[in-house]
Amino acid sequence: MDETAKKTVTGGTDSSIPVTETWLRKHRLLYNGATRHPFILSIRDGSVDFSSFKRWLGQDYIFVRSFVPFVASTLVKLCKESSNESDMEVILGGMASLNDEINWFKKQASKYHVSLTSVVPQNANVKYCRFLESLTSSEIEYPVAITALWAIEAVYQESFAHCLEEGNRIPQELQETCERWGNEGFGAYCKSLRDIVDRCLQKASPAEAEVLFLRVVEHEVEFWNMSVGDV
Ligand SMILES: Cc1ncc(CNC=O)c(N)n1
């Protein structure tokens, strides 16, 4: 039995379709706007403008630094609300790879002569980071926070995995970037997050979670727009 079939038997609110699946079907156009953004397509076809890439690099470093406390706060919510052991390992694994990622950003920045200490966060980034900070509030419950975490990671995973699909003409220098988020391990991590969301929202799926999913996707589109200088 495949994964979807299994879920059909074991649970679901009414129609037995996992909640993430219903959202992705319902909001496909918006979601594709984030995962097939012109910036991503330009990396895939090799036409990417390197000044856009450098802008993205500096801005994303700032984003990732704000992302760390958000992920940590999600872990705290888990421990307070349910302390599921396997969820803890998934989130902790995500945090561990962020440590790696921060070092990777520093290395790339020096390669491309981007001074990380003098990057000024642009508007879309400031808004996205504020949004992340608002999610660290204790009023936001674990199932809602983990939904946002999944969506944030999934957009990057799908975007860069798309770059790596057959027929790509990724510039050699950007191969490593695409692999960072497009690799299989990161894909498995995103699938684990997605399963957590589907499990957490199986019985009660608050409208709040769907709204957050949409907010994340919108912020991601704005983030890519900023990277191509289209603000
Ligand atoms: C804007 C944005 N969204 C998602 C990610 C992926 N998560 C951690 O790296 C990212 N780096 N930047």
Reported confidence tier of residue 15, pLDDT bands at 50, 70, 90: low
* pTM score of the predicted model: 0.93
CA-to-CA distance for 95 and 92, rounded, in angstroms? 5
Whether the per-residue pLDDT at 3 is higher than 70: the answer is: no
> Which atom of ligand 1 is nearest the CA belonging to 101?
9
Which segments of 121-200 does DSSP mark as H helices, in order? 123-135, 142-164, 175-182, 184-200
- Does the beta carbon of 101 sit less than 6 angstroms from any atom of ligand 1? yes
- Count other C-beta atoms under 10 Å from residue 86's C-beta: 10
Q: Of 126, 181, 221, which is best to mutate to test ligand 1, by the most ligand atoms within 8 angstroms of its C-beta?
A: 181
- Count other C-beta atoms under 10 Å from residue 124's C-beta: 20
Active site residues per annotation: 220
Which tens digit of pLDDT belongs to each residue from 141-163?
999 999 999 999 999 999 999 99
Whether the per-residue pLDDT at 11 is higher than 50: the answer is: no
Which tens digit of pLDDT belongs to each residue from 198-210?
999 998 878 999 9
Cα(12) to ligand 1 centroid in Å equals 29
Which tens digit of pLDDT belongs to each residue from 92-146?
999 999 999 999 999 999 999 999 999 999 999 999 999 999 999 999 999 999 9
CA-to-CA distance for 127 and 225, rounded, in angstroms? 13
| Nearest Cα residue to 97 out of 193, 218, 170, 21 | 193
In this structure, is the dihedral angle defined by the CA atoms of residues 102, 214, 198 and 22, taken in order, positive or negative? negative
Reported confidence tier of residue 231, pLDDT bands at 50, 70, 90: low
